[in-house]
Amino acid sequence: MHALLDFPKEHGSLLALIHVGISGPENLYPSSNYDSRLLERFSIIFARTSGAIRQLFSYINARFRSDESSVLSFKALGAALHIVGSLADSCPTVLDILLEHGLLDLFGAVQILTASRRPERFKIRGFMNDSQRVDLLCQILTALEAVVYTETYRAPAYALLIRQGLIPSVIGASSLIPVDYADNIAEGLHLLLLHLLPKTFGNRRVLNTFLHSLKKVQDYHGDELNFFTEPKNSRRLNSLHHQQVHDTWEEIVLQASAFKKLRGEFEASGIIVCANPECSSNGKHSEPDTVIRRRRCSRCKVTNYCSESCQKRNWKRNNHREKCDNVCFAILRPVSSDVDEKFLS
């Protein structure tokens, strides 16, 4: 708890929030009728305070690395994570600021909390109690949930999280979390991953990343996968949420396979995709037995052309530089290409 005292005076609002939240996250906003506009205004002021968000994330990271194992320390960490979740859910402006400061890096804590094999460097000192582990997971999932529920960020967020190990973490959580707490975490994982993931399968990068991760899980985490996908497992027999998660997971795997097949048919159809608005070939089918060689902007990696001449013309005459800069300097870099949009149209 002593680390809280290191906060600069201008961040006293954060210190007060954590102190209030120590006795239970629900005490942060005790009235169910609190003014949402007031919360939004406070969140924006706090998020824009110089160094406040950085200090908040630094505190969370320090707590996960700390040897301190007191109940007070755990509650302070839970309150800090609850603050992150509340800020992320308050308004788009604050969510953008949190993403700029590494909100998605919180997923590293999910990996630690759900790791089936915990080497010393991943040991959760002081937080090995199962109920506490579930509480922390749920707080982190709430914060990450705000990102994937934002349509603009959904595909790039999933692409990043899946590459970082989201699929094995979800599957591992099912076998590691005790039955008494299974429903809570199953519901959170369902909201975070399973419910919205299929909406991004039209994106080739997300789809391929998911299928690659699924194959790795099948090859290296077979026992955990069997536990996760077996609805009649004796430990989960009475778990309604686990049954819902299982059913949704099965549907997602089927949808991923279906999208993969449809994408293959689309690619084989020979449709020409070109971002140059002056291109007369855009949207047309290539000649039979002709191999399409799409050119892609090497900088933004989401803009496609049918030829080098169209690429040069679009850069000079139609100001592709502006789109390129918007993509490259986005808070979460977009991953949907022109080909993805044509496939979904």
Mean pLDDT score, 27-31: 45
Express each pLDDT in 102-149 by its tens digit.
899 888 887 777 765 444 444 454 445 667 777 788 788 888 888 998
Q: Cβ of 79: how many Cβ atoms within 10 Å?
A: 21
- 16 part of a folded domain: no
Please state, in angstroms and rounded to a whole number, the distance separating the CA atoms of residues 91 and 43: 8
pLDDT band at 24 (very low <50, low <70, confident <90, very high): very low
- 281 part of a folded domain: yes
Mean pLDDT of the chain: 76
Would you state the pLDDT for residue 288?
64
Contact 264, 323 (CB under 8 A): no
Which range scores top for mean pLDDT: 38-47, 134-143, 216-225, 302-311?
302-311
Residues 6+ apart with CB under 8 A from 50: 10
Please give the sequence-ordered ranges of beta strands (E in DSSP) within 165-267, or none if there are none. none
- 62 part of a folded domain: no
Contact 143, 84 (CB under 8 A): yes
- 75 part of a folded domain: no
- Name the amino acid, one letter, at 201: F
- 214 part of a folded domain: no
- 293 part of a folded domain: yes
Would you state the pLDDT for residue 90?
83
Rounded to 5 degrees, what are φ and ψ at 305?
Answer: -135, 160
Express each pLDDT in 169-214 by its tens digit.
877 766 655 555 555 555 566 656 678 899 999 999 999 999 999 9
Give the range among 96-110, 147-161, 234-248 with minimum mean pLDDT.
234-248
Specify burial of residue 36 (Cβ count, 10 A radius: 0-12, 13-18, 19+): exposed
Express each pLDDT in 279-337 by its tens digit.
888 888 877 666 667 888 989 999 999 888 899 888 888 888 888 999 999 999 999 99
pTM of structure: 0.81
- 291 part of a folded domain: yes
Would you state the pLDDT for residue 207?
96
Q: Is 281 helix (H, G, I), strand (E, B) or coil?
A: coil
Domain with 301, as residue range(s), is 271-345
Q: Which residue has the tokens 């979740």?
A: 85
Which range scores top for mean pLDDT: 29-33, 199-203, 218-222?
199-203
If one counts the domains in the chain, the total is 1
- 335 part of a folded domain: yes
Q: Which residue has the tokens 């030829």?
A: 307
Q: Percentage of residues in the chain with pLDDT exceeding 90?
A: 23
Query: Has residue 35 got a pLDDT over 60?
Result: no
Contact 100, 158 (CB under 8 A): no
Please state, in angstroms and rounded to a whole number, the distance separating the CA atoms of residues 89 and 152: 15
